[in-house]
A = this chain, B = another copy of it.
Amino acid sequence: MTTLLIISHPDMIESSSQQYFLSSIKNQDDITIHHLENLYPDSHINVAKEQELLRQHDRIIFQFPFYWYSTTPLIKKWQDEVLGEGFAYGTRRKPLAGKEFGLVLMIGVAEREYQAGGEELFTISELTKPFQAMANKLGMIYLRPLSVFQFFYMEEKQKMDTLIRYWQMLKMERDISLANRENWLIDQLRQVSQSNLETADSEIIKFAIERVQENRDQIDELKMVLDDMFLE
């Protein structure tokens, strides 16, 4: 499976969360990192090239800071120009049908505010309806989004958990069992740890592997407890 990761951020270099996630996916053959502001500093999008890239990938991800409950201006421009009538919809052919679409949202406000009674009033599911409707129109499969709330305030353990969810968003096939998911992740992490990483990055990977194994141990223990209960 190949993933096209479309990233947009008005100030990418300054964003510690964006840099954290990006540094974890260097040199991955099956992920194309596509930073729009970098590619199109004058905002003139090469529509034919973008459409070709969409055809070549199985999973399309938009990654952006969730300012005013929506995309950056450049992703919106990309949507309006690249996903035009005649290419994306409006004819019998729907070249993106059956592919997967997902969101990675960087959010500055706490998760608890995104509900009725919270300061932001609506859930992320409610606020992202325009993207769900887009996937529907294009015949794409809409994935569970990855919402990263207040990355800046996270402790190391939380950051690591989020990093694992990020990897799953980018690389993991849908609908595989929990045990397979863990094995898959450990494999992925081992592959990375064998490549040429800076010390800090390789420490991160090591820590992540330990976390996954630790979780698995906990689940195994829980299973044993349950088994004991039923045997009594």
Known: A120-B137, A129-B126. A76 touches B80 (CB 8 A): no
Distance, CA A73 to CA B129, complexed state (A): 18
- Report the interface size class on chain A: 20 to 34
Q: Is A212 an interface residue (CB 8 A)?
A: no
| Segment touching B, from A22-30, A63-71, A147-155, A158-166 | A63-71
Q: Is A87 an interface residue (CB 8 A)?
A: no
Known: A120-B133, A136-B121. A68 touches B80 (CB 8 A): yes
Residues in A lying within 8 Å of B, measured CB to CB: 10, 43, 67-74, 76-77, 79-80, 83, 119-122, 126-127, 129-130, 132-134, 136-137
Distance, CA A102 to CA B134, complexed state (A): 23
Contact between B77 and A73 (Cβ–Cβ < 8 Å)? yes
In the assembled complex, 7 residue pairs joining A and B whose CB atoms fall closer than 8 Å, in A order, are: A43-B43, A67-B79, A68-B76, A68-B83, A68-B130, A72-B76, A73-B74
Contact between B76 and A73 (Cβ–Cβ < 8 Å)? yes
Distance, CA A80 to CA B65, complexed state (A): 11
Distance, CA A130 to CA B120, complexed state (A): 10
Q: Choose among B68, B77, B120, B129 the residue that contacts A127 (Cβ–Cβ < 8 A).
A: B129
Chain A, interface SS category: helix
* Candidate in A43, A71, A120, A130 with the most chain B CB atoms within 10 angstroms: A130
Known: A121-B136, A136-B121. A129 touches B69 (CB 8 A): yes
* Candidate in A68, A83, A119, A134 with the most chain B CB atoms within 10 angstroms: A68
Q: Choose among B43, B83, B126, B130 the residue that contacts A70 (Cβ–Cβ < 8 A).
A: B130
Looking at the assembled complex, report how far the CB atom of A106 sits from the nearest CB atom of chain B, in whole angstroms. Answer: 14
Nearest 7 pairs of A and B residues by beta carbon: A69-B130, A73-B73, A73-B77, A73-B76, A68-B79, A121-B136, A126-B129
Hey, which chain B residues are within 8 Å of A134, CB to CB?
68-69
Hey, which chain B residues are within 8 Å of A72, CB to CB?
76, 80
